[in-house]
Amino acid sequence: MNSEASTKLVNDELDRRLGRLEIPEERYRADIDLHDRSLSFSAELVRLALAGIAVVGFLIANAPVDRVSAVFDDNLLKTLISLALAALAATAAFALLHRFYAGGAAFHHLQVVKLLFLDDPALDPNLKKELDERTALFMRSHRFLRLASILLVLGAIFLGVAFVRFLFT
């Protein structure tokens, strides 16, 4: 048997062991609750970003024709609205990326919990690999969540300034 087939056999056996392993819920419940709150927050960011985009569409669709033409004739107003839309769209995108990477991080976190529960020194290389993957995914998802939050604030600021300019021009 070649080394690739041997490695696959060992990994399959480990996957079976981990799959059959019963972990008491109190060992991971707090982690899952924190993960759920994080996903709820990113869902709220997506909702707010899409609502902001809808506000722009509503204002343009329902504004008097002379006011809409003023928007398209005012370069600063066009720029502010464009920046707001770009920031809000990027907010939604980064919040969705956060959700994607957070799900992968949660999977690897549960693998770490299971490997630690086995307490088998022979599995230390697997544990290190899972820890490294978990940490990388958690950090990436955290960066996306932070970026989405900052972009939402920027989008709201641009939208607010554009609205004020729209009202007073």
Identify the residue with better confidence: 111 or 152. 152
Distance CA 26, CA 83 (A): 46
Segment (H or E) for 71: helix 65-73
Cα–Cα–Cα angle for 57, 63, 66, rounded to 5 degrees: 125
pLDDT confidence of 40, banded at 50, 70, 90?
Answer: very high
Using CA atoms, how far apart are residues 80 and 61, in angstroms rounded to an integer?
Answer: 17
Domain boundaries, the chain: 29-167
* pLDDT tens per residue across span 45-94: 999 999 999 999 998 888 888 877 877 888 999 999 999 999 999 999 99
- What's the pLDDT at 65? 84
Do residues 83 and 158 make contact, with C-beta atoms less than 8 angstroms apart?
yes
Q: What is the mean pLDDT of the chain?
A: 86
pLDDT value, residue 87:
98
Q: Dump pLDDT digits (tens) for 7-29.
A: 554 567 777 777 676 777 777 77
Q: For residues 147 and 149, give the distance between their C-alpha atoms in angstroms, rounded to a whole number.
A: 5
Distance CA 168, CA 164 (A): 6
DSSP state of 63: S
**pTM of the full predicted structure?**
0.80
SS3 of residue 22 by DSSP: coil
